Amino acid sequence: MDQTFKCYADTPEEYYDCFIRGLKERNPGEPEFHQAVAEVSKSIVPYIFDNPKYIKGQVLERLSEPDRLVSFRVCWEDDEGNIRTNRGFRVQFNNTIGPYKGGLRFHPSVNQSVLKFLGFEQIFKNSLTGLPIGGGKGGANFDPKGKSDAEIMRFCQSFMIELYRHIGEDVDVPAGDIGVGAREISYMFGMYKRITNRFTGTLTGKGIEYGGSLIREEATGYGLTYFAENVLNHHSEGLKDKVCLVSGAGNVAQFAVEKLIEKGAKVVSMSDSKGMLHVKEGIGLELLQEIKDLKKKGKRLHEIQATGCEYHEGKDPWGIEADYAFPSATQNEIDLDDAKTLISSGVKGVFEGANMPSTNEAINYFNKHNTLFGPAKAANAGGVAVSSLEMSQNNIGLSWEREKVDNELQSIMKDIHQTCVKYGQKKEKVCYITGANVGGFVKVADAMLSFGIY
């Protein structure tokens, strides 16, 4: 079905309903993508009604259709000599303000819908950073869990044998995401370099020895904490002595916990896909290091034996009494019931480390209860921001010091907060969802209109 239909509507509500109906018809069987577009359009539609040039230019309709989506076969051999086949993807969503930029996810749940939701979100997030980067995302339905190092290497190399022809330092610059860390990026970068015979900054999250940036590994978790601090300071609150719930035990969660501890907060939980660790007295740096070491080996949190830790199989942290929550594991980990549990646990602020961790019903519930809510595209933008700084360093052939990159990160998160306030202020309240969505939209939309119709 083409998009030549037009939503003739007298009200934003009618326009929204018509737009979402059309989107669902054009993209059947893609619930995560529908959810992400619905969440963003809820804020954008009232804005474009006040600024009809965007309706005339059909910007929302054009923005919700990826520039292209590549899907490909990835064959590799396991340690027993069996031939295995997975499906790889790259969604190049929008390069209006810079090369496509977004992570690669290796997880059995990866499919077209998940990557389209992530790529769509990435457009707005990248725009919010103020840096010249477009939106993209990719990955494969490959499960790195339980694979040997040699198997991971063979998979990454095979994945890159196809992906290399679609990417480049000024075309599309992938990074890591769930299941893709420094090891996987290194294997892929090695193969990219071998095939192209060029040493370029085509991937970010590289090792420090060969073009990576200091603070990239820490950036999403640190940035999340900096963003939360900006929000809280704006509301005359702070992190010191506050009880915080963190979910996840991967890259984002680990460095969010590290920075929260440094800011004087008491972090009482972390979790993984099998269960939750409750530490009543607060996670200390020694325990955090133990968790980092454990996760590097691909192990589960139930193996942590430290005193003061309670492990709860199959549970999430949302029922623990706390001040603030930082969901940092995966999409839709907070549904309506979890949102109710969080509010009755006393939580006054939710800051999203993961992408789309809250369902739209959960977000509505938070809004009704005046919960401070830092949406993912603003709160977790620190990772892609430092990835963009890695690209800058690669372009000029320099490596910046840790302190310089960290200062840049802090200033970017502060600017993102200000953008949210600028576009999200409603009387005395700031709606960070509207602020982030509209703030991210305006720059991309104006650039699209300047380019004309194509």
Active-site residue set: 137
With beta carbons less than 8 A apart as the criterion, state whether 379 and 351 touch: yes
Q: How far is CA 161 from the centre of its chain?
A: 26
Per the listing, tokens 């009618």 go with 14
Separation between Cα atoms, residue 214 and residue 208, nearest integer Å: 7
- Site membership for ligand NDP, residue 213 (CB under 6 A): no
CB 14 within 8 A of CB 7: yes
Amino acid at 250: G
Phi, psi for 269 (deg, rounded to 5): -150, 155
For position 249 contacting ligand NDP by CB under 6 A, the verdict is: yes
Stretch that binds ligand NDP, among 30-38, 256-264, 269-277, 423-431 (CB under 6 A): 269-277
Q: How far is the CB of 410 from ligand NDP (least distance, A)?
A: 17
Q: Does 250 bind ligand NDP (CB under 6 A)?
A: yes
Among 272, 323, 338, 406, binds ligand NDP (CB under 6 A): 272
Q: Which of 86, 213, 269, 330 binds ligand NDP (CB under 6 A)?
A: 330
Alpha carbon of 197 to those of 37, 122, 152, 193: distances in Å? 39, 30, 23, 5
Contact between 288 and ligand NDP per CB under 6 A = no
Nearer to ligand NDP, 253 or 283 (CB): 253
Nearer to ligand NDP, 16 or 116 (CB): 116
Euclidean distance between the first and the last CA atom of the chain, given in angstroms as a whole number: 18
Query: Quick one: which of 438, 403, 439 has its CA closest to 419?
Result: 439
Output the residue with the shortest Cβ distance to ligand NDP.
250
Number of residues that bind ligand NDP (CB under 6 A): 26
Among 179, 375, 424, 435, binds ligand NDP (CB under 6 A): 179
Query: Cβ 14 to ligand NDP, closest distance in Å?
Result: 33
Stretch that binds ligand NDP, among 20-28, 61-69, 230-238, 327-335 (CB under 6 A): 327-335
What CA dihedral angle connects 401, 407, 411 and 417, to 10 degrees? 110
- Cβ proximity to ligand NDP, 45 vs 413, nearer residue: 413
Q: Which residues pair with 349 in a beta bridge?
A: 324, 372
Among the listed residues 59, 178, 185, 436, the single contact to ligand NDP using CB under 6 A = 178
Q: Which of 213, 251, 358, 393 binds ligand NDP (CB under 6 A)?
A: 251
Q: Are 159 and 144 in contact (CB under 8 A)?
A: no
β partners of residue 276? 271, 312
Could you say which of 36, 37, 277, 329 contacts ligand NDP (CB under 6 A)? Answer: 329
Residues 345-364 touching ligand NDP, rule: CB under 6 A, are 353-355
For ligand NDP, the closer CB: 330 or 359: 330
Beta carbon nearer to ligand NDP, 7 or 180: 180
Give the DSSP per-residue string, 100-165: EEEEEEE-TT--HHHHHHHHHHHHHHHHHTTSS-EEEEEEES---TT--HHHHHHHHHHHHHHHGG
> In sequence order, what are the residues at sequence separation of 6 or more whose Cβ sits closer than 8 angstroms to the Cβ of residue 337?
none
Minimum distance from CB of 36 to ligand NDP (Å)?
12
Q: How far is the CB of 327 from ligand NDP (least distance, A)?
A: 9
Q: Which of residues 371-430 bind ligand NDP (CB under 6 A)?
A: 380, 383
Question: What's the CA gap between 348 and 235, in Å, rounded?
Answer: 12
CB contact at 8 A, 372 and 349: yes
177 vs 258, beta carbon nearer ligand NDP: 177
Residues 22-81 contacting ligand NDP, CB under 6 A: none
Give the H/E segment covering residue 277.
strand 275-279
246 binds ligand NDP (CB under 6 A): no
CA distance 161 to 195: 8
436 forms part of the interface with ligand NDP (CB under 6 A): no
| CA gap 234, 65 in Å, rounded | 36
For the CB of residue 238, give the shortest distance to ligand NDP in the complex, in Å.
24
Pick from 136, 248, 374, 424 the residue near ligand NDP by CB under 6 A.
248
Nearest approach, Cβ of 271 to ligand NDP (angstroms)? Answer: 6
Q: Footprint of ligand NDP on residues 147-166 (CB under 6 A)?
A: none
Spatial neighbors of 2 by CB under 8 A, at least 6 apart, are none
Nearest residue (CB) to ligand NDP, 234 versus 315: 315
The piece of 21-29, 86-94, 329-337, 342-350 that touches ligand NDP (CB under 6 A) is 329-337
Question: Which residues of this chain interact with ligand NDP, rule CB under 6 A?
Answer: 176-179, 220, 248-253, 271-274, 295, 300, 328-330, 333, 353-355, 380, 383
